[in-house]
Structures are given as C-alpha cells and as structure tokens.
Structure 1
Amino acid sequence: MSFSTKVKEEIAKHGNHSRHCQIAELLALLLATGEVVFDDGNVRLIMRPENTLIGDKICQLIDQLFDREIVYDRHVKYIEIHDDKMVEKVLQMVKLSDYVDYMEEDWLDEDELSGIDEDEIVYVSSRGVSLQNCHFPKQVIQKDCCKKAFVRGIFLATGSVNDPQKAYHFEIVVHNKEMAQAVQEVIRSFSLDAKIVKRKKYYVVYLKEGSMIVDILNLMEAYVSLMDMENVRILKDMRNDINRRVNCETANIKKTVNAARRQIEDIEYIERTKGLKYLNDSLRVLAEIRLEEPDANLSELGQMLNPPVSKSGVNHRLRKISSIANALREDNQI
C-alpha cells in the first residue's frame, strides 16, 4: 500500500462532528467528483468518485447531513441522486445551487452540440456539467475548522503525497485555474506556501518541503501518517548529518596529509641543499620532529616540542621553513 493511500484511509475515517465542517468536506468532494445533468427539465446529480473510499465518504456525509441513505454502486462506479428536491437541497447546502441554475441557461442538448468547437463551451459536455466549473463558494469555509475539513475532502478526492523515503511532494489536482487558486488560498491561510503549476489540461496545487507536508498532514489530522513521515525525516536527517561529518572529516584528513607532504618536501630539500643546521634551533628541532612523525597534526607536533608550542605557533614555524625552502629553490634556479 502506498503512503498516499495510507493517508487517505486515515483521513477517510475522520468523523466531523460539526455540521458546518461536514458541509465543507462535502463541498470539496462534490466539486471534485460531481456533475449535474439537465434532462427534460429535471436535474440529476451524479458523483463519480475515483474509488470506493471516496464513494463511501460521500454517502456517509449525505446520510449525516440529510438523513438520506444512498449507496455507492461499485459496479457502475458512480453515485446518482435523481430526486429534483434532494438535488436542490444538496446544492443549496453547499451554496452551489445559484451557479447550477446559471449553467442550465447555457445547457445544450446533443443535437445542438454538433458543429460547435468544444473549446468554446464552458458548461457543456455529453455526460454532464462538472461542478468544478462553479464559482467557489467561500462562504462555506469561513472558519479554520471548515477549511481543514475542505482540505481533507479535496485531498481525499484528487490529492496525492509521495512516499517520504523517496521524495517530498504533496499535490491536489483540479480542472481549472479558479478552482486551483481557491484551493491554494485555503492552504495558504495556514501559512503554507502552496504553489500552482499547469500540467497538461489540469492545474496542480503543490507543496515540496518536508516541513510543510508535515504541517498539512497535521492540518488534515492524519496523525499516524504524520508520525510515520517524521520518523523518516529524522532518519534522513541523521544520515545526512553523518554524511556531512564524514565528508568534512575526509576533507580535513586530505588537507592535513597534503600539508604534511608539502612540509616534508620542503624540509628534505633544505636538508639536501644546505643541511638542517642551516635552520635556527627552533626551526631545526621542529623539522626533525616532522620528519620523524609524518602523520602527526599541528597540535600533536606542538606537544612534542620542549617547551610545548601552540598549534598556531607550529604553523608559523612551518611557514618559515617553507619560505626558506622556496628561497633556496629560487637561488638554485639562477
């Protein structure tokens, strides 16, 4: 089972006790899956959920709000309400009835559709009119709790979230720009920087940062999934920290080895050309210790001197030795 499915199963079990939150969640599910069909003066409401989980959630909410038991038909994979009065009640509850009435004015039957470019028609299709074409009824989600319920519903219907072990990505896919902007506005009201991108004929509202995805899981009250993701993030952070430390230590070791190699080359050059007695006592003693202890770092070299010398003091003396060696090289080239 994918991580996205686990999140959806968890939030599908969430029960909104407040009626206004139930309405907000139903609004999200209707906008994502619903369409209206005008047939000889009658209006039918058809919902085409992607899977049983969504279908059962829609049925549960309608039962809670209207005391009307409906069933998701798993064979035809849609839910249909063909009672005009019931359809009107549902659409009025989620504040979509006015917009649907407006759509009906633009409705054309199958004969009238012939010869018309589909790109020029907003509200017409052979199956029905998608409720995503409605203007978004912001008055349904004024409270924060209702906004959270709406996000739960819209994610359940059209969202996905990547396995955090692979990548951090959360998205909600909708059919038009206005709907995408409405979803983005709801998510941004919780200080989450949701962005929008167009993907073929769809609009995608997405989050990419791990911390923001954790926050939206918390917002949707998917607490088990949130903990699973946090555990993955902790392990990732630990691995990254260990890798950074190893890389840093490796770089320091390489730097120390390269520096020691250059120091020994300088000392050996002085020894071949002038002899170590060419150096003053403090430099000569350090040069001899460096030749004896090629793997020692500066601090260790300083402790081997009598009296001991600080790391910066050792570095200063070695730089003097290097300057002397370079001067001898220049003299020998003349």
Structure 2
Amino acid sequence: MSFSQDVKQEIMNHIPPEGCCAVAAAYGVACFGKYFDSKGMVLHTERTGIAQYAKKVFSLAGVEGKIYARGKEDSRMYEFAVKDSEQIEKMFSLFGGTGTEPSLRINSKIFQCEHCVQAFISAAFLCSGTITDPSKEYNLEFLSNRYGLIQDFSALLMGHGFLPKTTRRRGGNVLYFKASEQIEDMLTYMGASGSSLQLMNLKVYKDLRNKANRITNCETANIDKIVSASGKTIEAIQYLRENGALETLPETLRVAADCREKYPDLPLKELALQFDPPLSKSGLSHRMKKIEQIAATLMERNCNA
C-alpha cells in the first residue's frame, strides 16, 4: 500500500464509539462525500474499507445506509449511500438543516465533546484526503467542490492550533499542509500516530543524510582546493628543477619545496607543522607563492629568449 493508504487504514482501525463522536464522524463522511442534499447522501471510494467505515459510523449514529459495488473488478468503485426517505429524515435530524441550503456549511453544534472534532476530521480525510509519500515531499491535503465547506473547515482547524492553507485547483477547492511538523501533528490528531512516527523517523534520516552530503561536499571541495594549490606549487618546483634553478633558491625556499614534494596532499596548515621549528600557515604560504613567482618569471624569460 501507499503511505496515504497506510494512513487511512490506521484511521479506520479506530472506529469512534456510539454517541456524539459517531455522529461527528458520520457528519464528516456526509460533508466530504460526493453528494449531501435533500435527496440523501452518497460517498464514492475505491476502497471497500472506507465504504464499510462509513456504513459503520452511520449505523452507530442511528442512520442506516447501503453499500453498492460499481464497475468492473479491475476498476471497482464502492458507493455508500443513504437514500431511503426515512433514513434521510433521521440524518438531517442529527446533522441539522434540510439539504436544500444553497451552500453547505459546517454545523459546529454537532461537536459535543473534545473528541468529536477529531472524529469529524478523521472521517473527512478518509473521504477526501491524500498525503504524499514523505520520502518525496511533505504534502497533506483535503479536496472538496464546496467552497464554503473548505472555508469553514479551515477555520475549524485553525481553532484547534493548525495552520492550513487553501487554494483552487482545476475548479476544486484544496486545503493543504506543507510543513512537516504540521503534518505530523495532523496525523497524530486523526489517530494515525504510527504514520506520524514513521514520518518523524524519515525526516531525521533525511536530515542526517543531507548533513552527511553537505559534509562530504565540503570535504571534497576542500580536497580539490588543496590538490589544486599543491599541484600548482609542485609544477613550479618541477619546472625550476628541470631548468637547473631549484638549487639556486635560498635555503628556506629549497626546504619548503622539498617538504611540499614529500607531502603533496597535506593542506598548508598541516604542512607547516612538518618544519622544525613549525612555521605559521601564512609564513609557509608566502614561501610557496615565492617559489611560484620565481618559476613564472623564469618561464617568461625562457619564452622571450
């Protein structure tokens, strides 16, 4: 299963108890299903488990619906529906309204205890939510064609400490989270604490890997820099030797040249410690530049000869 499916499975493992939380969960299914009006309520889903979850929470809330399987086996769609007139009347008696309102808005009176909002949000995610594999990117979102519903949902989440963002996409409304910490909290709040922990562990791994990559890149850059600087000096030393000029250098420069050839891979700071007594990094750098300058002058003279 995908990470999103794992999250939904974890949520489905926690059916809310009979009472106000079951009503809140059923209300979440109704609001974020495909249809919810005076003709009834319909939820479409590709997962039979979600349809069964919807049927269960509606039954716990006192409303009976039916599950239908649509389409061929390789593209099966499951539908949970409340279409019986008596059950529709019970449903609106629980949720308030008549189903003829021009815009669906969240009825906050549904939420009777501190866990009702969690049950509502969890059911909403089962019906309309998705989460991207966190190994690729951090993104959790809810989709709905109902603008007023998404705005009310955003306000509800903000009232419980979350900071969602909203946008429009292909004619629909999207409420989403991009911050990993918010997604972790959201998963925990919806009852998917195992998935939240998995995301946290993955984030730690990614942070460690990125840090290791930065260190490696930095070390590689430093090595390249050392090799480049060392190579330039060694080329100068070799040119001086080939032209019989190395032995004419002052003793301090000859000793520096010998040390550089002996330890071609050492950075200047460590190379300076090989002298007796040790030199300063700046002092050794000055000697190396002097050797390079002498070689450059000799080369120019030979070219002009």
Tell me, yes or no, if structure 1 residue 78 matches structure 2 residue 80. yes
For the aligned residues, what is the CA RMSD? 3.2
- In the other structure, the counterpart of 2:104 is 134
Of 254, 259, 264, 1:294 maps to: 264
CA shift in 2, pair 1:146/1:331, >3 Å: farther
- In the other structure, the counterpart of 1:113 is none
CA shift in 2, pair 1:327/1:159, >3 Å: same
Q: CA deviation at 1:152?
A: 0.8
CA shift in 2, pair 1:192/1:320, >3 Å: farther
Q: CA deviation at 1:321?
A: 3.8
Residues of 2 paired with 1:285 and 1:220: CA distance?
Answer: 72
Residues of 2 paired with 1:172 and 1:227: CA distance?
Answer: 21
Q: CA deviation at 1:141?
A: 4.8
Letter in 1 for 2:235: E
Tell me, yes or no, if structure 1 residue 13 matches structure 2 residue 8. no
Tell me, yes or no, if structure 1 residue 25 matches structure 2 residue 25. yes
Q: Helix, strand or coil: the match of 2:225? A: helix
Instruction: Point out where structure 2 has 5 or more consecutive residues left out of the alignment.
Output: 71-77
TM-score where L is the length of structure 1: 0.74
- Asked whether the 8 Å contact 2:17–2:60 carries over to 1, the reply is no
Letter in 2 for 1:225: S
* Deviation readout 1:87-143 (Å, 9 max, x if unpaired): 344224333x15x3445xxxxxxxxxxxxxxxxxxxxxxxxxxxxx31232444587
Residues of 2 paired with 1:216 and 1:239: CA distance?
Answer: 25
Tell me, yes or no, if structure 1 residue 223 matches structure 2 residue 225. no
Of 147, 159, 172, 1:177 maps to: 147
Residues of 1 paired with 2:296 and 2:161: CA distance?
Answer: 61
- In the other structure, the counterpart of 1:93 is 94
Identify the range of structure 1 (197-206 vs 223-232) with the bigger mean alpha-carbon deviation: 223-232
* Deviation readout 1:206-262 (Å, 9 max, x if unpaired): 223433322221121202222333333333333333322322222221111101011
Letter in 1 for 2:129: G
Letter in 2 for 1:94: F
Q: CA deviation at 1:17?
A: 4.1
- In the other structure, the counterpart of 2:49 is 53
Letter in 2 for 1:200: R
- Asked whether the 8 Å contact 1:35–1:45 carries over to 2, the reply is yes
Residues of 1 paired with 2:284 and 2:91: CA distance?
Answer: 83
Residues of 2 paired with 1:87 and 1:185: CA distance?
Answer: 28
Tell me, yes or no, if structure 1 residue 308 matches structure 2 residue 304. no
Identify the range of structure 1 (318-327 vs 297-306) with the bigger mean alpha-carbon deviation: 318-327
- In the other structure, the counterpart of 1:3 is 3
How do residues 153-168 of structure 1 correspond to structure 2 at under 5 angstroms? Answer: 153-168=123-138
TM-score where L is the length of structure 2: 0.80
* Deviation readout 1:165-214 (Å, 9 max, x if unpaired): 33332221110322222333333445544222322121122223433322
Of 131, 154, 157, 1:187 maps to: 157
Letter in 1 for 2:41: I
Letter in 2 for 1:31: C
Residues of 2 paired with 1:145 and 1:46: CA distance?
Answer: 24
Identity of aligned residues (%): 30
Residues of 2 paired with 1:48 and 1:54: CA distance?
Answer: 9
- Asked whether the 8 Å contact 1:55–1:79 carries over to 2, the reply is no
Q: CA deviation at 1:301?
A: 1.7
Residues of 2 paired with 1:178 and 1:324: CA distance?
Answer: 79
* Deviation readout 1:274-333 (Å, 9 max, x if unpaired): 834554433331122112332232233223211122444433433444455556667778
Instruction: Point out where structure 1 has 5 or more consecutive residues left out of the alignment.
Output: 38-42, 104-132
How do residues 100-139 of structure 1 correspond to structure 2 at under 5 angstroms? Answer: 100-102=99-101, 133-139=103-109
- Asked whether the 8 Å contact 2:144–2:173 carries over to 1, the reply is yes
How do residues 201-220 of structure 1 correspond to structure 2 at under 5 angstroms? Answer: 201-220=171-190
Q: Helix, strand or coil: the match of 1:78? A: strand
